[in-house]
Amino acid sequence: MTTIYLATELKADIHKCFDAARDIDVHKLSTKQTNEKAIAGRTSGLCELGDTITWVATHFGIRQQLSVEITKFNRPYFFEDKMLKGAFKSMQHEHHFQEKDGKTIMTDKFQYEVPYSIVGKFFNSIILKRYMIAFLRNRNQFIKSVVEQ
């Protein structure tokens, strides 16, 4: 299991940050480089507890689908999505929000397992983990630009 932690400081109200992070339309805009689209379940607006979302995107030149469910939700402090179906063996993404000194700290805990045994672990160690960190950082910087306007 690989775990990625990222913390992003946002100069905005916690409610605004929380809503931007769970906004499917913001997510689509933040992932233009992979042409990500929500194609089933909730496909726009703010995701809520129990929602499922199926995304289609191009990663590493391969068109892929990923279905997730919002499994935990405590507005405006926390929500979690877990993979139902996709390229990972398993995937869980926790989104934490904390107010501190008039700012919001948005923390991602992104955990995943890769398939394909040794080949998957090798691919993860040389390419995938760095790719996922960059993907999440880009997304967080986009959210930052949206909420700090």
Residues of the domain holding 105: 2-147
Give the CA distances from residue 146 to residues 118, 139, 140, in Å, rounded to whole numbers and listed in that order: 40, 11, 10
Residue type, 97: F
Q: Give the count of alpha carbons within 13 A of 42, CB side only.
A: 18
Interacting residues of 34 by C-beta distance below 8 A, sequence separation 6+:
57, 58, 59, 135
CATH number at residue 98: 3.30.530.20
pLDDT recorded at residue 98: 97
Query: What parts of the chain have a pLDDT lower than 70?
Result: none
pLDDT recorded at residue 115: 92
Model confidence over 4-21: pLDDT tens digits? 999 999 999 999 999 999
Number of domains in the chain: 1
pLDDT recorded at residue 116: 86
